[in-house]
Structures are given as structure tokens and as C-alpha cells.
Structure 1
Amino acid sequence: MTKTAYIASSWFNPEQTAHMNAGVAAIKANPTVDMENSYLPLSHQYKNLDTMEHPELLSDSEWQMATFNGDVQGINNTDLVIAMYDPQLKNSDPGVLWEVGYAYGIRKPVILVLPDDNETPVNLMPAIGVTAVIKMADLASYNFNFPNYEVYQGKAF
């Protein structure tokens, strides 16, 4: 049995991109995730437009609306959300946190994935409002078929 996942992540700076790429590689190695039918937003860009090549799209209302609606549908149409998140201020992304909150609101399991070396306290809303918080090192072996609730044990504020 495998689960489909919406893979929330950031790619706006090199550290975020490295975190996303490591996470995607680990998810691909995880036998409980159906990666072929999962939703990675970068793989579903509106009209296949790349914002790295065309940063002006970030200000285009048609692109914004289509991206928002596509991502919401991606969350709606998958079994759970895997949110790769770095709480350091320079890497924290409110978009990922919105996706986490939306998934919580529609009662989807959410697994928050922190960097292995994370020392930064996590805001209590994502720390408590997810099914489980795991480290990147656990992503390839985590059992997404049965994501049981676990109380976050790290520093929160």
C-alpha cells in the first residue's frame, strides 16, 4: 500500500532548494509513498512556466491565481501533506505554513520535515498543528501508510 502526497517546500534560495531536493530524493526512496501520483508544485507549474527563468511571473495575477488553485487542488487530491520546512528566519516560508494550515483544516495528515541539524525553535502552530514532526534523516523510512499523531518534542514558542 502506498499513499499520495502533496510535497510542500521552498526553493527561493540555495538552502531551501537543497532542503527540497534532499527531501524529494528521500521521498522517492520511501516505499510507502506513491511518488508518481503525488504532487510536487514545481512539477506542476502553470503553462510549464519557470519562475526562475521568468521571475516577472511572480507579479502576474493570472499566474498567481492558477498557481494557488493548482496547489490547493494538489492538496485536496492527495492523501497527506509532507511539508519540508526550515524554521530559520532566512528560510522560513509562509507559503509552506499556509499549506500546512489548509491541510490541517481539511483534516489531512501532515508530516513536518525539519533539517537534521535544526536548533531553531518552531512556532507552536505548525509544531502542534501537524500529525508528526520528523527529521530529514527519517524521511526515507517513515511509514506514511499509518502517520500516527506524535507530540512535538523540540523547542517551540
Structure 2
Amino acid sequence: MANSIYLAAPFFSETQIERVKEVQSLLKQNSTVDSDNIFVPMEHQMESEEFGSFPWQVGVFESDVRQVRTADAVVAILDYEKNGDEILSDSGTVFEVGMAYEHGVPVIFIQFDKAGKMNLMLARSYAACFSGDDVKKLASYNFDELPTVFSKLEVF
């Protein structure tokens, strides 16, 4: 079965955009993912409306919420900022993770930067967590079976 994926991530800097593209590429290589059904929010910004306008806000929000609810899995890139040994995650990405969890949509975490700590609520909400060089394993992760891949991060 080929699974649909919602790729949650910040895309406010060149580094973040490069990471989104890398994860998207890894997902397209995965035989358990429908490569034509990977929803990347930065590619769906309702260009027909003025950025930031009320119609734009409503359109983007409703589209993203609908896509999270109907995805077979959410892959979330948690890297936003680093503060010591803690990775601070984008609030929009965290919102999408919480919504996915509430709707029974499995969540796969991606952290390019090695972190020493993770918020407890995030740490207990994922099916699998890949960080550092292990991010490349996303290309072969079995989205049909969703095996648990634990992180060794401390929680706070």
C-alpha cells in the first residue's frame, strides 16, 4: 500500500527549505509512500490571495488542517532553532503534530540537529524519531507497518 504523507516543517530560512526538500526526496524514494501524494505546505500557499490577508489565512489554514486529517502519516521536521542542547520547534509544526496525534494519524519526527532534550508532550507523541545521519533511513522506513523507532533524548 502506498501511503499519503503530510510533511510538516518550518520553511522560513534557506536551511529549513533545503531540509524540507531533502526529506521530500527521501520520501519519494520510499516504496511504501505514494510519491505523488506528499503534501508539502510550502508548495500550497494559496497564491491567488495576498499573503497574510484574511482570505489567505483561512485558505491556507483550512487546506493544511484538511491535509493533516486525511494523511496516512505526518512527517514532522522539528528543527527550527537551537538553544543550547534543546531544539526549539516551530509552533505551527507542533500544532500540526498535536492535531495529527488527536486524529490518530501516526507522526514521524525528523531532527537534523542532534539534541539532548525534547519536550515530554512531543517525545511521547511519535511513532518513530530519526535524527542526525539516521534521517536518511526515512527512505526505507516501512510506513505500512510503522515500526517504533525510539530516540534517546531526555525529556523536560
Q: Could you say which TM-score interval applies, normalised by the shorter chain?
A: 0.7 to 0.9
Q: Where in structure 1 are there 5+ consecutive unaligned residues?
A: 50-55
Can you list the C-alpha shifts for 1:73-112, whole angstroms capped at 9, x where unaligned? 1112221111112163476311001000000001111101
3-state SS of 1:130 partner: coil
Q: Where in structure 2 are there 5+ consecutive unaligned residues?
A: none
1:48 Cα deviation from its structure 2 partner: 5.3
Does the 8 A contact of 2:11 with 2:42 survive in 1?
no
Q: CA RMSD in A?
A: 2.0
Give the AA of the match of 2:138.
L
User: Structure 1 segments of 4 or more deviating over 6 A?
Assistant: none
Matches within 5 A, 1:1-157: 1-47=1-47, 57-58=51-52, 60-86=53-79, 88-89=81-82, 92-115=89-112, 117-135=113-131, 136-157=135-156
Of 101-110 and 84-93, deviating more is: 84-93
Give the AA of the match of 1:62.
P
Give the AA of the match of 1:68.
F
- What percent of counterpart residues are identical? 32
For normalisation by structure 2, the TM-score amounts to: 0.85
* Whole-angstrom CA distance in 2 between matches of 1:42 and 1:126: 23
1:45 Cα deviation from its structure 2 partner: 2.3
Structure number with the higher strand fraction is: 2
User: How many corresponding residue pairs?
Assistant: 149
